[in-house]
Amino acid sequence: MTQSTRLSRRTVMVGAAAAFAAPAIVKAQGQTLKIGSLLPRSGFFAQAGQSMHRGALAAPELLAQLGYRVEIVHIDTESNADVARTQAERAINEGCHVLTGAFDSGHTLAIAQVTEQRQIPFVVNVAAAPQITEQGYKFLVRNFQTGGQLVTNGLRLIKDVMDAKSIKFDKAVFLHANDTFGTAQRNAMDAIWPRVGLPIELVDKIAYDPRAQDLSVEVTRIRSLNPDLVMCVTRASDAIKMVRDMVRQRFQPKAIISPGSPGFYDEEFYQALGPLADFVMFGLPWANPKATMTQAFERAFVKANPNNRFAVDSFNAGFTFEGLLIAADAFKRAGTTSGPQLMEAVRATNITDHVMIGGPITFDAKGQNPNIGSALVQNIRRTATVVLPKDVALAEPVLPLPAWQGRS
């Protein structure tokens, strides 16, 4: 069953002193696990947070079918790291046995400090900053790729699509947001690009402020360099600005590919740009459209969210479901809500039947799942469509990028 709970800043302060009490060791009551789902459902990251929330709304029915009993407490972090921290404290004080979340890496690190102190398991469903699993947290696991893994797999997929379509890119530009995530991806690109062996000259790396009104200056700079390939790390709002300024300036590269970032698959992107949203590509961990669990989850998603498209939400919703599945599966094996014992079961996770592309869900000594795969996804008729690798693809990739003008 589900419970929708709004934890306000005011109520968070009540009993705050208890946040630093001794770790909670609680016997399983009624064999139901109480999970706090912390997501940015309002504020700057609301588009992604709402998408992930829809996955959390769809999860209980499928988890029940799989034999798990969970209660999900839905918590809004308001796209604010300080709120994320205080909401995590309040959720634990209110009896949550496990926390999941939190999309933004800064929010995730803030929550991790709380769960580590309180000895409560924290299952990270989406957040890429490498330091999340490099700081020695004992009560944290991450079922998501690091920024370096996102970039590495994204660049390999660029090579794969060049081979598949017999297309050559001579010059590339890397455009990225200057926020925590974008900067981490830039650092990863600096380290990884020289090693991947792509036969492309990377002529410039350009940072931008995602809160800027437009990206006209950055696009003018890119246009002057005239690259075949634009690689970018964006979110939906700034991806919209980028495409609009490319269209205004009549800049037409052969391809626009994100080697690991959100933005291109958000409903906001499709609604704002219409046919101009088509044919951009992104390399990301993605739901396996041919997996039995994905198909079962899609049925639950459609039932819980009849006004939303699973094809659009499958990335955010899929990782959200898997975070809840990891917690529920660990609880079933542990038979207790004791934080340390439950965390031991979380670390011993081995789930072979799941939603996202890749091998079994397992965790290494640092709490990182090393088996997550990536797909190359392309917008086709305003729908995120897997085009590589071939064994999970639903369509052939379209390259070069069709002209902006004349689309319908």
pLDDT tens track for 73-95:
999 999 999 999 999 999 999 99
Compute the average pLDDT of residues 15-20. Answer: 36
- pLDDT band, residue 31 (cuts 50/70/90): confident
Residues 135 and 228 in one domain: no
Q: What confidence score (pLDDT) does residue 26 get?
A: 42
Higher-confidence residue: 362 or 19?
362
Residues 230 and 325 in one domain: no
Question: Is 394 a member of any domain?
Answer: no
Q: What confidence score (pLDDT) does residue 2 get?
A: 42
Residues 240 and 116 in one domain: no
Residues 297 and 239 in one domain: no
Question: Is 363 a member of any domain?
Answer: no
Higher-confidence residue: 20 or 206?
206
C-alpha to C-alpha distance for 3 and 372, rounded to whole angstroms: 30
Residues 132 and 280 in one domain: no
CATH code for the domain of 259? 3.40.50.2300
Phi and psi dihedrals of 232, rounded to 5?
-145, 150
Cβ atoms of 268 and 20 closer than 8 Å:
no
Residues 35 and 130 in one domain: yes
Residues 275 and 381 in one domain: yes
Q: Is it the case that residue 296 has pLDDT exceeding 70?
A: yes
C-alpha to C-alpha distance for 207 and 372, rounded to whole angstroms: 28
Residues 154 and 133 in one domain: no
- pLDDT band, residue 148 (cuts 50/70/90): confident
Residues 117 and 163 in one domain: no
Residues 137 and 178 in one domain: no
**Overall pTM surpassing 0.95 (yes/no):** no
Compute the average pLDDT of residues 302-331. Answer: 96
C-alpha to C-alpha distance for 232 and 327, rounded to whole angstroms: 33
Question: Is 327 a member of any domain?
Answer: yes
Q: What confidence score (pLDDT) does residue 287 get?
A: 96
Cβ atoms of 354 and 371 closer than 8 Å:
no
Question: Is 362 a member of any domain?
Answer: no
C-alpha to C-alpha distance for 175 and 230, rounded to whole angstroms: 7
Order of strands across the sheet that contains 122-124: 2-4, 70-76, 33-39, 98-101, 122-124, 140-142
Q: How many CB atoms lie within 10 A of CB 67?
A: 9
Residue 360: partners with Cβ closer than 8 Å, 6 or more residues away: 350, 351, 352, 354, 371
Residues 59 and 45 in one domain: yes
Domain count, the chain: 2
Cβ atoms of 391 and 407 closer than 8 Å:
no
Residues 141 and 16 in one domain: yes
Provide the residue range defining the domain that includes 116: 2-145+289-347
